[in-house]
Chain A
Amino acid sequence: DAGITQSPRHKVTETGTPVTLRCHQTENHRYMYWYRQDPGHGLRLIHYSYGVKDTDKGEVSDGYSVSRSKTEDFLLTLESATSSQTSVYFCAISVAGGIQETQYFGPGTRLLVL
């Protein structure tokens, strides 16, 4: 257990509204990631962070922004939610830095955009 929590765990929102998902870790790991999971696509990287205020885009970053103002929290914001952003969102942390990393995942947030 890498001490990862996500909030909220479930959310229903309306198209056009902003939504923020929170990932919190208790062990001060440097690397944090946001993925979305959709049937037939596995998990796809949205954004990741390699330190406080250091973030970069992943494969499917359009319509999403992130912020990391302190080590333990990594926030994912849907600036104006669309139905195509209905998904399950997973946060992950990397315990060891470097290319041979192992990532550990949070429990996920189910988001429904109506």
Chain B
Amino acid sequence: AQSVTQPDIHITVSEGASLELRCNYSYGATPYLFWYVQSPGQGLQLLLKYFSGDTLVQGIKGFEAEFKRSQSSFNLRKPSVHWSDAAEYFCAVVFNDYKLSFGAGTTVTVRA
């Protein structure tokens, strides 16, 4: 069955520390992959996406993600977290035409 999983429900990180959020999918081919961020009370904002080509993708706000076919993963990283990065992060995948499937989300708390 096709699925997308974010194994970590909640991550707490210190300001200035690095951050990595995990995303795994189950699919027989390479899907189209996205990371979205949702600040409290806001809609979702696209951080980055992967369709093909270079497996390391740069996004907005200093984020990057790496697609690893062998691990069926698309993990999101940021080298140095700012307090404004506190938010909920969603991995999303297109398995079929025009339909996004979302992971359950990871909430990031940033401590001073």
Is residue A50 contacting chain B, with contact meaning CB distance below 8 A?
Answer: yes
Chain B residue numbers with a CB within 8 Å of A50 are 98
Chain A residue numbers with a CB within 8 Å of B97 are 99
Given contact pairs A40-B104, A45-B100, A101 touches B44 in the complex (Cβ within 8 A): no
CA distance A44 to B102 in the complex (A): 7
| B34 close to A102 (CB less than 8 A) | yes
| B43 close to A107 (CB less than 8 A) | yes
Given contact pairs A42-B90, A90-B43, A101 touches B104 in the complex (Cβ within 8 A): no
Is residue B51 contacting chain A, with contact meaning CB distance below 8 A?
Answer: yes
Is residue A94 contacting chain B, with contact meaning CB distance below 8 A?
Answer: yes
Chain A residue numbers with a CB within 8 Å of B92 are 42-43
Question: How many chain-B residues does the 8 Å CB contact rule pick out?
Answer: 23
CA distance A79 to B85 in the complex (A): 39
Is the interface on chain A under 10, 10 to 19, 20 to 34, or 35 or more residues?
20 to 34
Interface of chain B: mostly helix, strand, loop or mixed: strand
Given contact pairs A42-B102, A42-B103, A105 touches B44 in the complex (Cβ within 8 A): yes
Shortest distance in angstroms between A98's beta carbon and chain B's nearest beta carbon? 8
| B51 close to A100 (CB less than 8 A) | yes
Is residue A74 contacting chain B, with contact meaning CB distance below 8 A?
Answer: no
Chain B residue numbers with a CB within 8 Å of A33 are 100
Q: List 29 A-B contacts (CB under 8 A).
A: A40-B104, A41-B104, A42-B90, A42-B92, A42-B102, A42-B103, A42-B104, A43-B100, A43-B102, A44-B102, A45-B100, A48-B98, A58-B99, A94-B98, A99-B32, A99-B96, A99-B98, A100-B51, A100-B94, A101-B32, A101-B94, A102-B34, A102-B46, A102-B49, A105-B43, A105-B44, A106-B43, A107-B42, A108-B42
**Contact residues of B with A, CB < 8 Å?**
9, 32, 34, 36, 42-46, 49, 51, 90, 92, 94, 96-100, 102-105
**Contact residues of A with B, CB < 8 Å?**
31, 33, 40-45, 48, 50, 58, 90, 94, 99-108
